[in-house]
């Protein structure tokens, strides 16, 4: 007797219109694996991503005054911010609007402006309050303070978890992106090692499946596409949560079950997991199916690094850097490979040129600071000078924002 295939909570309840929708809707996760594709993979926006809007439904009047308590929102400390950025002339003027702050990567000031907006809203303006709350929490996370974001999200998270009549009225008004963010924050500092966060993701998947069934019954293809895309996204988020828990093999097996997500995305993630587990042969086998040529080239050189072939890796990184001179990750990895082969002066030159020409991201600045420590007794002066150079550059939102921490410069 043939065994029937089974479906889990992350599978769509029907194959028909959802399979094509899934293939056309690539998804992203809240905490992606480190990728050779560079700083574009890091979070760079603090407003909810655009998604297909669901049909308008009447919104109940609610009282969100419990989110307007000033004591909820913390003063963001500046002790860990490099002095050069606090003194920089690139600091935005006080009248800068929230959109301008986000566009230029001034996430600390944006978080403060969002809090001010929340406190000024009327208690029943759910759309504006939740939009500003998402911005506030996302900015705090981008400032590397997810612990504070988790505390600030707790009042909303606790209310929704109680399943009270008030929570049932508020739940439909909470933007999907904010719900995902609050679920992510539940794992911060959790004593269960993150299991509660995974359970919450599966709870959301059950809710999505209910919406998919209703959309199918209503023959609403637009709504089916929206919920199908969200279901795929949850599948990737579960894999990311498992990686954070250290369950790499479980995450790899879970990714094998996600058949409706972009194939190259799944292959890239599984290959990275295999390399992290030391299974280089498994990573090579996985990458044979990769279709994207640029990704394959980047993974090929990562395999050389994993095999300890730093000379060969340096040659390949050099070629990739010449092909894509604006790709900061390639330049950074070239410098690291040269450092491992003993060419420390060349490594320093490449990192300094990249820091001058490209947006400075944390690992590149940290590596350059390390090279300074290896090369000279004047390392503190050089690292301080580097911080002031970065602070003088025009603000850009790439690489997690304009402002940089003292840790990035090892100060």
**Under 8 Å between Cβ of 327 and 315:** no
Tell me, what's the pLDDT at 39?
40
Superfamily for the 293-409 domain: Tetratricopeptide repeat domain (1.25.40.10)
Rounded CA gap, 401 and 397, in Å?
A: 5
Question: Which stretches of 293-336 are assigned E, i.e. beta strand?
Answer: none
Q: 67 vs 32, 120, 133, CA distance in Å? A: 29, 11, 9
- Interval 14-28 mean pLDDT: 37
* Residue 187: DSSP 8-state: T
Q: Is the pLDDT of residue 73 over 90?
A: yes
pLDDT in tens, 259-283: 888 889 999 999 999 999 999 999 9
pLDDT range class, residue 56, cuts 50, 70, 90: low
Q: 395 vs 125, 151, 228, CA distance in Å? A: 32, 29, 37
pLDDT in tens, 285-326: 988 888 887 788 889 999 999 999 999 999 999 999 999 998
Q: Is the pLDDT of residue 258 over 60?
A: yes
Tell me, what's the pLDDT at 168?
82
Q: Is the pLDDT of residue 198 over 50?
A: yes
Tell me, what's the pLDDT at 298?
86
At 105, list the tokens.
């990567």
Tell me, what's the pLDDT at 49?
47
Tell me, what's the pLDDT at 297?
85
Domain boundary assignment for the chain: 17-68+121-261, 293-409
Tell me, what's the pLDDT at 160?
82
CA 314 to chain centre: 28
pLDDT > 70: percent of the chain:
85
Tell me, what's the pLDDT at 4?
40
What predicted TM-score, i.e. pTM, was given to this entire model?
0.81
């Amino acid at each position: 007797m043939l065994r029937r295939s089974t479906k889990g909570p992350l599978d769509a309840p029907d194959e028909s219109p959802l399979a094509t929708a899934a293939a056309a809707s690539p998804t992203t996760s809240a905490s992606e694996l480190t990728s050779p594709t560079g700083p574009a993979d890091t979070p760079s926006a603090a407003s909810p991503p655009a998604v297909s809007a669901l049909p308008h439904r009447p919104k109940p009047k609610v009282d969100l005054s419990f989110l307007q308590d000033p004591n909820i929102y913390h003063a963001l400390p500046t002790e860990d911010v490099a002095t050069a950025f606090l003194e920089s002339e690139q600091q935005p003027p006080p009248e800068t609007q929230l959109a301008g702050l986000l566009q230029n990567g001034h996430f600390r000031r944006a978080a403060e402006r969002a809090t001010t907006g929340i406190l000024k809203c009327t208690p029943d303006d759910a759309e504006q309050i939740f939009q500003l709350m998402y911005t506030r929490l996302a900015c705090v996370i981008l400032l590397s303070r997810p612990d504070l974001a988790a505390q600030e999200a707790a009042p909303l998270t606790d209310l929704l978890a109680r399943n009270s009549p008030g929570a049932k009225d508020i739940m439909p008004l909470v933007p999907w992106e904010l719900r995902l963010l609050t679920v992510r924050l539940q794992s911060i500092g959790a004593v269960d090692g993150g299991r509660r966060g995974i359970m919450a993701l599966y709870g959301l998947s059950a809710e999505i499946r209910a919406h998919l069934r209703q959309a199918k019954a209503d023959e609403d293809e637009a709504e089916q596409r929206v919920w199908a895309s969200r279901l795929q996204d949850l599948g990737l988020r579960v894999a990311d949560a498992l990686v954070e828990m250290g369950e790499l093999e479980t995450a790899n097996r879970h990714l094998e079950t996600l058949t409706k997500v972009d194939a190259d995305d799944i292959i890239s993630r599984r290959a990275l997991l295999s390399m992290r587990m030391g299974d280089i042969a498994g990573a090579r086998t996985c990458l044979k199916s990769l279709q994207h040529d640029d990704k394959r080239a980047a993974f090929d050189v990562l395999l050389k690094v994993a095999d300890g072939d730093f000379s060969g890796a340096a040659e390949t990184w050099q070629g990739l850097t010449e092909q894509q001179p604006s790709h900061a990750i390639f330049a950074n990895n070239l410098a690291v490979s040269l450092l491992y082969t003993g060419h420390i002066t060349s490594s320093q030159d490449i990192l300094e040129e990249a820091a001058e020409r490209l947006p400075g991201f944390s690992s590149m600045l940290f590596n350059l600071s390390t090279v300074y420590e290896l090369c000279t007794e004047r390392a503190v002066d050089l690292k301080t000078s580097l911080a002031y150079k970065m602070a003088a550059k025009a603000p850009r939102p790439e690489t997690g924002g304009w402002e940089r921490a003292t840790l990035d410069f090892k100060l």
